[in-house]
Amino acid sequence: MALSGRPRKLTERGQKRSLTFCSPLLQISKLHVTFRSAQVQKAESFMEWALWGFHGLRACSAPALPAGCITALQAVDFWTKQFEGKGVTEPELSSRYIIAYLLGAKTIESLEQQRLKEFLSREETDQLWQLCTQRLSRMPVQYVIGEWDFRDLTLKMRPPVFIPRPETEELVEVVLTDLQRLCGSGATVLEVGCGSGAISVSLLKSLPQLKAFALDQSQEAVDLTRENALRSFHLSILINVNADALLGLCGSVAVLVSNPPYLFSQDMATLQPEILRFEDHAALDGGKDGLNVIKQTLTLAPRILPNQGRVYLEVDPRHPPLIQQWVEGNQCLCLLLRPRFCILQNEAPKPDQD
């Protein structure tokens, strides 16, 4: 998963352990560091850094990073090596984002050089240990730091709610362009499978006059969408209901947009540990052909869209011909294709001519 985004604040987790260091240069004892129990046996790997950074530092027990003895730049190098050694994807980016977040910045580059050369405090050192050991467990950076950038928004993130990908930003751009050209800024939009609310909230920020509805089968996703909407402004309504109940609630909507679960079930086993261990499988697995939710969405669309209303879907590259076959059996929808996306337009049946 490509990394981009903004670090902020994350609640501490784990439990306290007492660690003792012995050194000819430093007398350090009973340093209290917060970290996850699963990482205790892995702590010996930190000796390599301790030897490098403190010229002969030796550990009598599992070592930790001493407070006031490591700078942010040194921490970036150290944790990058730790991530590389454990096979963590994008190790340097992971290290840089976590440490930037720790220091209250978006990126390392946005921090002053003087701050990067200052020694980290005990609190910062403890929190850094905690955050990086979470990343060592293969928790995605987005969950580790608790938020992520999507277009011009900073959205809250927490497991297991689906993490928005950069491709979905392109989908939002397509929808925005068509909304402004075809529907006007006061149209009504329905998002099916809202996850973190990235699509709905982003559309509303760009077109505040929109009326938006967001739907998801996961209450955790609905709650997170609500939180992200309230950070900037209110969505019209956020609900967790079945599609039939939605019919009476929404009426006609100009646009239905969705980044549905579209992975083929057989492909789930090939996903990275970050995805398999932490993200909601229901937001990823689209069934045998990846079309389970897509077909349900397309069945719903003609019932709530007006004539010329549109459906925007992010899909697997293998899906367009499969969706084309489905559309051929449903004459209410006309398929328009773009790379990675399917756009379908509702076409009201023409009256019979005598």
**Local confidence band at 232 (pLDDT 50, 70, 90 cut-offs):** confident
Please tell me the chain's helix, strand, coil percentages from 3-state DSSP, rounded to the nearest 5: 45, 15, 40
Q: Which amino acid is at 302?
A: P
SS3 assignment, position 72: helix
Least confident of 4-13, 88-97, 206-215, 308-317: 4-13
Cβ neighbours of residue 312 under 8 Å, at least 6 residues apart? 171, 174, 175, 178, 255, 256, 257, 258, 341, 342, 343
Q: What is the pLDDT of residue 174?
A: 95
**Local confidence band at 149 (pLDDT 50, 70, 90 cut-offs):** very high
pLDDT tens-digit series, residues 78-127 = 999 999 999 999 999 999 999 999 999 999 999 999 999 999 999 999 99
Instruction: Between 111 and 183, name the one with better pLDDT.
Output: 111
Least confident of 218-227, 275-284, 341-350: 341-350
State the burial class of residue 169 (Cβ atoms within 10 Å of its Cβ: 0-12, 13-18, 19+).
middle
Does position 136 have pLDDT exceeding 90, yes or no? yes
Instruction: Between 325 and 244, name the one with better pLDDT.
Output: 325
Average of pLDDT values for 301-323?
92
Does position 235 have pLDDT exceeding 60, yes or no? no
What span, in angstroms and rounded, lies between the C-alpha atoms of 53 and 18? 21
Q: At what angle do helices 91-102 and 122-136 cross, to 10 degrees?
A: 150
From 221, 80, 224, 35, select the one nearest 147 (Cα to Cα). Answer: 224
pLDDT tens-digit series, residues 240-276 = 555 555 666 555 789 999 999 999 999 999 999 999 9
> How is residue 310 written in tokens?
């549109």
**Average pLDDT taken over every residue of the chain:** 79
**Range from 5-19, 169-183, 231-245 that averages highest in pLDDT:** 169-183
Q: What is the pLDDT of residue 212?
A: 87
**Range from 107-116, 224-233, 342-351 that averages highest in pLDDT:** 107-116
Q: What is the pLDDT of residue 278?
A: 98
Active site residue 46: no
Average of pLDDT values for 307-320?
94
Is residue 332 within 8 A of residue 302, CB to CB? The reply is yes
What span, in angstroms and rounded, lies between the C-alpha atoms of 331 and 144? 46
Instruction: Between 13 and 269, name the one with better pLDDT.
Output: 269
Domains and CATH numbers, the chain: 15-145 (no CATH), 152-346 (3.40.50.150)
What span, in angstroms and rounded, lies between the C-alpha atoms of 147 and 8? 7
What span, in angstroms and rounded, lies between the C-alpha atoms of 331 and 210? 29
**Local confidence band at 348 (pLDDT 50, 70, 90 cut-offs):** low
pLDDT tens-digit series, residues 20-30 = 222 322 222 22
Active site residue 259: yes
Single out the catalytic residue among 21, 150, 162, 213: 162
Q: What is the pLDDT of residue 333?
A: 82
Q: What angle do CA 302, 304, 310 make, to 5 degrees?
A: 65
Does position 49 have pLDDT exceeding 50, yes or no? no
Rounded to two decimals, the pTM is: 0.79
From 338, 200, 204, 190, select the one nearest 254 (Cα to Cα). Answer: 190
Instruction: Between 100 and 301, name the one with better pLDDT.
Output: 100
Average of pLDDT values for 123-140?
96
What span, in angstroms and rounded, lies between the C-alpha atoms of 279 and 159? 6
What span, in angstroms and rounded, lies between the C-alpha atoms of 176 and 185? 9
Single out the catalytic residue among 150, 259, 278, 341: 259
Active site residue 213: no
**Local confidence band at 347 (pLDDT 50, 70, 90 cut-offs):** confident
Instruction: Between 67 and 124, name the one with better pLDDT.
Output: 124
Q: What is the pLDDT of residue 335?
A: 84
Single out the catalytic residue among 260, 261, 278, 302: 260
Instruction: Between 320 and 34, name the one with better pLDDT.
Output: 320
